[in-house]
Chains A and B, each alone.
Chain A
Amino acid sequence: MSAPDPVHAAGEERAARVERRWAGLAVCLMVLLTGMAAYAGIHRATMPQARVETVDPQRLHIGGEFVESNLGSALEDDGSVTVRAIGQQYSFTPTCIIVPTATPITIRATSADVVHGILIQNTNINTMLAPGYVSVISARFDKPGDYLMPCQEFCSFGHEGMWGKVRVVAKEEFVANAARQRRQSCAQ
């Protein structure tokens, strides 16, 4: 790469060796980080949703999975809970989602109009709601508590007013209510 010169050739060779080592280190570092991410994802159950599902946003309210009477938290036969919700300009339905502690939860949600987002503060539950597609996300809460759930994507001029809530209640209380109400929510 330069004219042969004994004085500089040794230095050049050394410099090149040092930077090759650094480049190799950089590559190894990035491979390690990627592997860690994959490993942590699998063992901590925070992986992207497994399937792409489509739905018609114009007909959500007419029938099917996201009709308003089917929204809310449902106790499944295997003891898990499925939460169904929609985001629309400018509220979530149900406005207050109720979930039990110590239970695997699947949140299934979609948008009725523009792109919205669901972010449950103080958790890592965070997903986009795109009209035409169903978002699926897994969750698990250990302790009872209340969380705010803002929309995290600009959905036009009412976006700043789009805040929902999540209430985590003790598992026994949730299961007891499930006998009376097939779809629970804490929206009064």
Chain B
Amino acid sequence: MPNSKRLILAHFWLAFAGFGVALVLGAWQMFVRSPLHPWISDPEWYYRSLTAHGTVMAYAFPTLVAMGFGYAITEAALNQPLVGRRWAWAGWWILAVGAVTALVPVALGNASVLYTFYPPQIGSPFYYIGVVLVVVGSWFWVALMSVNLALWKRAHPSAPVPLAMFGMLGGAYLWAWTSVGAALELLLQIIPVALGLKSTIDAGLARVFFSWTLHAIVYFWLIPTYVAYYAIVPRAIGGRLYSDTMGRIAFVLFLVVAMPIGIHHTFEDPQVGAAFKFIHSAFTALVVVPTLITVFTICASVEIVGRLRGGRGPFGWIAALPWDNPIMLAIAFSFVMLGFGGAGGIINMSYQLNMPIHNTQWITGHFHLIFGGAIVIMYFAIAYDLWPHLTGRPLLDLGLMRLQLWLWFVGMIVTTFPWHWVGILGMPRRMAYFDFTDAALAPEAVSVTISVIGGLVLLASGLLFIAVLLRGHLAPVREVESYRFAEAVHPPVAVPAALNGYAVWIALMILLTLTNYGFPIAQLAARSDTSVPPVYVGAQR
């Protein structure tokens, strides 16, 4: 990490800069579609903002955080300077160029198709090409993580791979494979039509390809958070990790089962067979297991700290925890939001419970709570934890960091809980305005207004986060001790090959993709009678 600070900081700053802009857009969106604002006179502005917000928050921001964190882990956990740093910079540049290539047409109003693309709506080809470049840039990172670990393993045969590196690498492999779905949709279907090379597109097949990416991408976003749970939090709050083995098992389970479950995003789609909807639903149930395992292991690890600090009785250890430590706040908030968001996810994965809330504001509330809440709050914690080691200066203001985390937690609850409620009432997604004067919709007005307030709190928290990081660059230089990861109570000495590498699990991931996605994709791709004309969206009128 002393060697690649600039590289890692470049990733984090690009991520957080995009995050800040997208956060402002998000707050604006919530405001204009609420009862507090008259109906926007040009709804296209709303959809343009929605496209930019989603594209940055889904494709650029978490990818860059994972990449930066991954490089930091590679150097700190493996204790070796990053091999291939020029390739890493190349990847960063390709991603940055891709992001600009995508967002310029969005800003001009030529690609207001939303980050989910859903053809046959087709925007400017540069938007899609930009997204492809962002993904390609991240594949450089996947390759580098793999190469760096392979070199380390050759130098340390049969040594246990440090858990942080093991987890992060799993996330990288997962991302590489899951991004193939959207890449196929973009390269084989959308971009040819956007360029005018093809004149029809199978909208159903495109949705199936996208669903391949759509679920596992959230596990790609989640892995850095889980790596922080296992490898940072126990050390940061003064304790040990309850179990190294269970951490490895959780990460390998994510790699295998996060991928072949995407059809639960197409439960209500007419082009997918009912059997595959059930199969994916069952496998989605399995992906809850590594999270349940993690909750147990991390709660046990935190309990160790509480008892080390003198906590007694079944709950006394909670009060004894180091609540003045921002990382302690972050993990507690993250787990509360994970609990609610995870429960919502279990509802979404059940076909029958999903039906009433599909594509309503419940969905928006769910993924903001789980991703924007449980996952991103740990991104903040990761940044706070790494920052002194990247800047060479300590982060001094713990009070400001605690305030920022409190605001994010409270803001996220206040934003997302009303969304869940109005979703149950049937409020649809992605509308630029609503007629709250209508008797059927008037009950939703209060909830929507409350969530706007939450959005403003989130905006304040996000800006405060960036301010804290900026101030971290300006603090006086001080000797910062070398970076350490959490240690397990029983540090691993000999780890089975299957929990020290990913060959078995990658094979399974690919196998399951074939069994769970092979037929649905093949039988739609083989048909020529399901392609429909494109509907071009953009400034061409």
Contact = CB atoms under 8 A, between A and B. Distances in A.
Given A131-B532, A132-B202, A160-B432, A30 B289 contact: yes
Interface stretch (A15-23, A61-69, A75-83): A15-23
A1 B43 contact: no
Nearest to B242: A15
A58 interface: yes
A188 interface: no
A160 B433 contact: yes
A49 B433 contact: no
Interface stretch (A36-44, A94-102, A175-183): A36-44
B268 A128 contact: yes
B292 interface: yes
B490 A1 contact: yes
Contacts of A125: 355
Given A2-B490, A119-B428, A152-B429, A132 B530 contact: yes
Given A52-B272, A132-B202, A132-B204, A114 B118 contact: yes
B352 interface: yes
Interface string A1-44: 11100001000100110010011001101110110111011001
A173 interface: no
Given A34-B285, A132-B203, A148 B440 contact: yes
B430 A153 contact: yes
Nearest to A146: B440
A69 to B, nearest CB: 23
Give the interface size class of chain B: 35 or more
A12 B242 CA distance: 10
A49 to B, nearest CB: 6
Given A26-B292, A121-B425, A160 B43 contact: yes
A159 B490 CA distance: 57
B288 A152 contact: no
B492 interface: yes
Contacts of A126: 268, 355-359
A67 B270 CA distance: 20
A15 B243 contact: yes
Nearest to B274: A48
Contact of B293 (A22, A36, A49, A124): A22
A117 to B, nearest CB: 5
Contact of A132 (B242, B292, B531): B531
Contacts of A1: 245, 490, 492-495
A105 interface: no
A31 B285 contact: yes
Contacts of A127: 268, 270
Contacts of A33: 285, 346, 350
Contacts of B293: 19, 22-23, 26
Interface string B252-296: 000000000000001111111110011001100110110011001
Nearest to A58: B533
B358 to A, nearest CB: 5
Given A49-B270, A132-B203, A124 B351 contact: no
A98 B281 CA distance: 33
B246 interface: yes
B297 interface: yes
Nearest to B361: A152
Nearest to B292: A26
Nearest to B114: A154
Contacts of A50: 274
B120 interface: yes
B285 A2 contact: no
B360 A152 contact: yes
Contact of B426 (A47, A148, A160): A148
B274 A150 contact: no
B482 to A, nearest CB: 25
A103 to B, nearest CB: 20
B47 interface: yes
B493 A3 contact: yes
Interface string A125-138: 11111111111100
Interface string B231-255: 0000000000011011001000000
A54 B289 contact: no
Nearest to B267: A48
B532 A152 contact: no
Contact of B351 (A16, A41, A131): A41
B366 interface: no
A131 B249 CA distance: 42
B207 interface: yes
B531 A115 contact: no
Contact of B274 (A49, A58, A110, A113): A49
Contacts of A114: 118, 120-121, 203, 535
B529 interface: yes
Contact of A133 (B271, B288, B535): B271
Contacts of B529: 54, 56, 132
Given A132-B203, A132-B530, A113 B535 contact: yes
B434 interface: yes
B37 interface: no
B490 A12 contact: yes
B86 interface: no
B428 A152 contact: yes
B352 A37 contact: yes
A127 to B, nearest CB: 5
7 contacts: A1-B495, A2-B492, A27-B286, A48-B278, A126-B359, A152-B429, A159-B430
Give the 4 A-B residue pairs with the shortest CB-CB distance, closest first.
Answer: A121-B426, A26-B292, A152-B359, A124-B356
Given A1-B493, A121-B440, A160-B432, 8 more contacts: A12-B489, A19-B246, A26-B289, A38-B278, A48-B272, A126-B359, A133-B269, A157-B47
Interface of B: 43-44, 47, 112, 114, 118, 120-121, 202-204, 207, 242-243, 245-246, 249, 266-274, 277-278, 281-282, 285-286, 288-289, 292-293, 296-297, 300, 346, 350-353, 355-360, 425-426, 428-434, 438, 440-441, 489-495, 527, 529-533, 535, 537
